[in-house]
Structure 1
């Protein structure tokens, strides 16, 4: 009798245990899906002070550093380890090291976060690009390029190397092709103002390999996938190949005088996006030579490709976020995330995104918002500095350490 009672109690205990496990599984939230990647960091600088905030978006903690100047433009390097602070007003570039070194299937940690030793005092460094282990600036004050490689970022006294492009000063830009050559803008004076009209191909010594074959009425904004480069132009989208071949893709007929002042590359989706505040965000097909709308809307405040280059994230002045899958050109998610921002606001919220989260600065409250990309109602507020100015995603989308 006692044996039968013991068996009955044991069976009931197992049943309750299994039922409890089933209940827990049903209600359990996948911790990986709700957390940012372990080796992602968000760098935020300030408009007024020299304060730099390095945000750990997993722990929701902040480390503080001091930059040389406030109000710099922020960028990340292609490998993800370094951030660049470009301050054209003070002719200065400095680099910030997360310490995260990607090795494909895992990430190594190389020391603690800190500024690099290499700095640059160029003539109005403005446009920034990163290709492989190289960083490049276009210096508006004299039309030169400046380059440096990551191996020198912690070398005491190291400076960027100047490439004389043969240009006159202008508000220019450049891209680097996979073959090591550069597509660089040039000013021929046919259009008033500082915007360039042409693009030529040079080598690392500054020698012109292929002269411009197309003249535009003004160029601003560019991107490359390494095999072709696109430049925004009032005459159309200028497509430049390493061979020197150039062509224009026409804007949509309803654009009028509007044109893409920003060109974005979505490397994960293998696509290019053109953005103009006057018309919205459009997909640029360099094979079909067509421009088709992703979001035709004149209320877009920010439009950014996420860190992996698979999605386009737009933030409207109304406070609504819309996420588009660039592989299918369809809406993945949308919803209101912040209060409306006036179009004439001096300092507007700034947007960046990873695969899992959207990050938006709040200049008036001194906060950085971390918003779940799958559930826009899940918002975390992180105090950064008094007047956050710009932000950049750094690191590697990985949870695997050595």
Structure 2
């Protein structure tokens, strides 16, 4: 007969064997490893719809989608310089409205000031088309009469507030503008030397519309512009028109072999004097106004869209074959690429549109009624977010910050 001491030894031996088995099992089944960082808590996406008035507000960190109602469908969407608001341009309806994320940045954290909602301020203008923002101001160029409409964010939630008109003595044309650090504006001028709606010159005006500096260079047509606050660039058939806030103007020549091609799109490049020029006829190029150089980033006739991300760290290029290319914005070097969606035919009317943050690329899929979220750390990690039936445009707004008060 076993003694109580012997029985105790048997129980302990069985327990030790069981513990050893548990330890062995844990080594076979390790903890899962997170392969992509979550999106920042205080970033938002706003998506307009082509056919309906529906707006989709996405919290990409959680995947939550809320619906709001715009005044009109098919709105072009832009983010204000502060990051808090998005502006909706209804060019065909002569109307501008704004959306408030409710988020307010305080240097190291973000406060929630109110629920996301349509802002009170609106604008009535003659075909508002081109949008720019600087500081706390938003600006539209109105193609129907050549005026500007401006508003300050301090008035966005003031009941009945309206955008104000700046009349620079222009005629109607498909124009553009920028605002300098000194408060003056560079605005296009149509002198009639070229047929069609494109302007040929740029002049400087003040906030009342009075001319500060006259144009000194006549081009063969202008489209596309950007500014770092000190210099503004305008794409033109005669070269890249560089306008300084002092009023001086000069042309940077296109690269050899451009022929009749020119940059119809110019983007801010994230640093003073650095810009991206894009033309479907050639590709995307780094423009440096400090050295007067134009350097290719990607030379291709297959580009569907190229954008600078919200953090101004990457240039994202989406090809018609569905390939996404990620370039370092400061150097122009290719960081990674992958095929992320099906090919899109070039004649397609509503093509996928692209936006990005430091962590993700976002693609509107108009036929699928969804947004595709693509991790920039691993382009194979793709999440789909359902929105309205026929999504049209999107913009990223809010802040790349996850800290709260």
How would you bin the TM-score normalised by the shorter chain? over 0.9
2:257 counterpart SS class = helix
Task: Please say if 1:185 is aligned against 2:192.
Answer: no
The equivalent residue for 2:330 is: 327
The equivalent residue for 1:28 is: 33
The equivalent residue for 1:197 is: 200
Post-superposition Cα deviations, 1:181-208, rounded to whole Å, max 9, x if no partner, equal 1111111000001100001111101111
Cα root mean square deviation, aligned = 2.3
The equivalent residue for 2:395 is: 392
The equivalent residue for 1:255 is: 258
| Paired residues of 2:270 and 2:329 also in contact (CA < 8 A) | no
Deviates most, 327-336 or 391-400: 327-336
| Paired residues of 2:273 and 2:290 also in contact (CA < 8 A) | no
| Paired residues of 2:285 and 2:295 also in contact (CA < 8 A) | yes
Matches within 5 A, 1:45-64: 45-64=48-67
The equivalent residue for 1:76 is: 79
| Paired residues of 2:149 and 2:165 also in contact (CA < 8 A) | yes
Post-superposition Cα deviations, 1:192-238, rounded to whole Å, max 9, x if no partner, equal 01100001111101111110010100001100111111111111110
The equivalent residue for 1:159 is: 162
Task: Please say if 1:127 is aligned against 2:164.
Answer: no
Q: Using the alignment, how far apart are the partners of 2:41 and 2:397 within structure 1?
A: 12
1:155 counterpart SS class = coil
1:79 counterpart SS class = coil
Task: Please say if 1:355 is aligned against 2:358.
Answer: yes
Q: Using the alignment, how far apart are the partners of 1:115 and 1:266 within structure 2?
A: 30
The equivalent residue for 2:233 is: 230
Q: Using the alignment, how far apart are the partners of 2:125 and 2:283 within structure 1?
A: 34
Q: Using the alignment, how far apart are the partners of 1:202 and 1:95 within structure 2?
A: 26
| Paired residues of 1:269 and 1:327 also in contact (CA < 8 A) | no
In structure 1, runs of 5+ residues without a counterpart are none
Task: Please say if 1:376 is aligned against 2:345.
Answer: no
The equivalent residue for 1:207 is: 210
1:166 Cα offset (Å): 1.1
Q: Using the alignment, how far apart are the partners of 1:225 and 1:13 within structure 2?
A: 65
| Paired residues of 1:269 and 1:310 also in contact (CA < 8 A) | no
The equivalent residue for 1:312 is: 315
How many correspondences in the alignment? 395
| Change in CA separation of 1:155 and 1:43 when aligned onto 2, cut-off 3 Å | same
Q: Using the alignment, how far apart are the partners of 1:269 and 1:376 within structure 2?
A: 30
1:327 Cα offset (Å): 2.0
The equivalent residue for 2:176 is: 173
Of 128, 138, 141, the match for 1:138? 141
Q: Using the alignment, how far apart are the partners of 1:270 and 1:338 within structure 2?
A: 34
TM-score with structure 2 setting the length: 0.93
Q: Using the alignment, how far apart are the partners of 1:207 and 1:270 within structure 2?
A: 27
The equivalent residue for 2:281 is: 278
In structure 2, runs of 5+ residues without a counterpart are none
Task: Please say if 1:219 is aligned against 2:222.
Answer: yes
| Paired residues of 1:135 and 1:147 also in contact (CA < 8 A) | yes
2:111 counterpart SS class = strand
Q: Using the alignment, how far apart are the partners of 1:400 and 1:294 within structure 2?
A: 35
1:352 counterpart SS class = strand
1:254 counterpart SS class = coil
Q: Using the alignment, how far apart are the partners of 1:388 and 1:270 within structure 2?
A: 35
1:34 Cα offset (Å): 2.2
Q: Using the alignment, how far apart are the partners of 1:292 and 1:132 within structure 2?
A: 30
| Paired residues of 2:273 and 2:289 also in contact (CA < 8 A) | no
